[in-house]
Structure 1
Amino acid sequence: MAEHDLGPGERAGRARRRFMLMLIIGGGALGGILGGVIGGSSAGKGGFDPAHLTLNPAAAVLMAAGCLIALVALPLYMFVKVDEMKAKRNMKAMTAGCLAVIGGYPAWQMLAAGGFVPQPSALGMFVIAYGIMALVSLFLRFRG
């Protein structure tokens, strides 16, 4: 079916899907750049250690802005661009990530106090929140 044979709703739907795809590709590219800079600044130091990450001041400001754009601004912007079902699913996933940190930090701290695990770290909390958000989002998307 040719583009001109489509109704206005179908054309709008295709345009919305193209726009979202471009946002996702742009976000992925931004994430790749941020990860590449972090990886490059950690090269040859035996792996990634956020406590010993060093950047020149200009790069640090650009990286901080990039992280805020990629992890806060872009998801918030995408909330207003998706349908209500996707927004609800994303909100549930974000809530699960938040609750994982709210409950996970004290539990991790108690286990550390008992000598079972090392002290909690900011990177560990980030990984827990992001991981839980991703898992819950995938679960909600494919549960049918």
Structure 2
Amino acid sequence: MIWKPKTSLGPGEARSRERNIRQWLYIGLAAVIGGVIGIATGFFDQGDGNLFAGDWENLKLPPALAIGVAVLLLAGFVVLPLSGFRMIDDYKREQNYIAFTGGCVAVLAGYPVWAVLHAGGWTPPPHAFGVFALAYVAMLLSFLYARWRL
């Protein structure tokens, strides 16, 4: 008997392949949204602001562009992840819930700790980018923990 490669996928394999394709499309869409935000902000900035250096008060954007960038930020940080939760399997959804919870807990605990350490003279004052970075890193670490431990 000659071995033949399997040409048709079973129903579970087909659903997995569709989910993986959809996941890569979501990642691609998020990258496009981030690229548009970065290019628009960098190209149309009328001031000397730098979001990563913490001097966002010097960032000056045209009002219409600011609204457009805000809409894209909401789409990329709120709408895309929440709509993606209904399209992934239960196991990945649980990992993502753990990651989001880890990021939220890090901000809820991290900001007061940071404020107290600032009051004691140990750290600079809390700022928006630091809180965002705290949430982002905690979310990433929580996801990796959930992925490796569950």
Same fold, judged at TM 0.5 (above): yes
Question: How much has 1:117 moved relative to structure 2?
Answer: 1.3
Structure 2: 5+ residue runs without aligned partners? none
Q: Distance in 1 between matches of 2:136 and 2:6?
A: 41
Give the TM-score normalised by the residue count of structure 1.
0.86
Measured at CA, do residues 40 and 93 of structure 1 come closer, stay the same or move farther in structure 2, by a change above 3 Å? Answer: same
Q: Distance in 1 between matches of 2:85 and 2:10?
A: 26
Partner of 1:34: 37
Measured at CA, do residues 114 and 54 of structure 1 come closer, stay the same or move farther in structure 2, by a change above 3 Å? Answer: same
Structure 1: 5+ residue runs without aligned partners? none
| Identity in percent | 39
One-letter amino acid of the structure 2 residue matched with residue 141 of structure 1? R
Give the TM-score normalised by the residue count of structure 2.
0.83
Partner of 2:57: 51
Partner of 1:9: 12
Q: Distance in 2 between matches of 1:114 and 1:42?
A: 37
Partner of 1:67: 73
User: RMSD across aligned C-alpha pairs, in angstroms?
Assistant: 2.2
- Deviations 1:85-126, CA, capped at 9 Å, x for gaps: 111111111111111111111111011111111111111111
Q: Distance in 2 between matches of 1:42 and 1:28?
A: 21
Q: Distance in 2 between matches of 1:130 and 1:43?
A: 28
One-letter amino acid of the structure 2 residue matched with residue 64 of structure 1? A
Larger Rg: 2
Q: Please identify which structure carries the higher helix content.
A: 1
Pick aligned residue for 1:122 from 125, 128, 138: 128
1:115 aligned counterpart, secondary structure: coil
